């Protein structure tokens, strides 16, 4: 009787170790998708370019703005236009102003490639607060 319990214990230990090894191998083999993050000089904006999990013609990165100011200030803030630049060239952006309230959907690019090695992406945001127009250039830096 003791031998059968010992065998069951050994089998259970082997199964648990096998599961742990499988999870570790899976996590190491899973592709990692870096993100690019930047903060405005005023501290009121964060720009994030990240993998969105969807694919549209082999491009799957999207960029969003995060408002870091107060909720009270947010009610008085409008995004007028945004531009996404790589290597001194505007990839995506508005040329004319469109007054939009800040929301979780406030973004600067949808469905784009990840920046390539050596490229230095940046975002320019034009925004209005208390009837005063502001412009901020936000360089994006690669994060893991």
- Please give the Cα distance from 23 to 40 (Å, whole number): 39
Q: Is 15 helix (H, G, I), strand (E, B) or coil?
A: helix
Main-chain dihedrals φ then ψ at residue 63, nearest 5 degrees: -120, 135
State residue 126's pLDDT score. Answer: 95
CATH number of the domain located at residue range(s) 35-143 in this protein:
2.60.40
Which residues partner with 92 through β-bridges?
84
pLDDT at 59: 63
pTM of the model: 0.73
pLDDT of residue 56: 60
Q: What are the phi and psi torsion angles at 116 (to 5°)?
A: -85, 165
Max Cα-Cα span within the chain: 84
pLDDT tens, residue by residue, 24-60: 777 766 666 788 999 999 999 999 999 887 666 566 8
Give me the residue label for tokens 């998708």. 33
How confident is the model over 92-119, as pLDDT tens digits? 888 788 888 888 778 899 888 888 888 9
């Amino acid at each position: 009787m003791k031998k059968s319990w010992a065998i069951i214990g050994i089998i259970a230990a082997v199964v648990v170790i096998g599961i742990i090894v499988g999870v570790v191998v899976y996590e190491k083999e899973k592709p990692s998708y870096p993100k690019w993050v930047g903060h405005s000089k005023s501290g009121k904006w964060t720009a994030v370019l990240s993998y969105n999990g969807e694919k549209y013609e082999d491009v799957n990165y999207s960029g969003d703005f995060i408002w870091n100011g107060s909720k009270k200030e947010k009610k008085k803030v409008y995004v007028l236009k945004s531009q996404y630049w790589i290597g001194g060239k505007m990839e995506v952006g508005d040329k004319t102003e469109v007054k939009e309230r800040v929301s979780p959907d406030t973004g600067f690019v949808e469905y784009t490639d990840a920046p390539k090695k050596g490229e230095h992406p940046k975002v320019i945001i034009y925004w209005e607060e208390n009837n005063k127009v502001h412009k901020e250039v936000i360089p994006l830096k690669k994060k893991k």
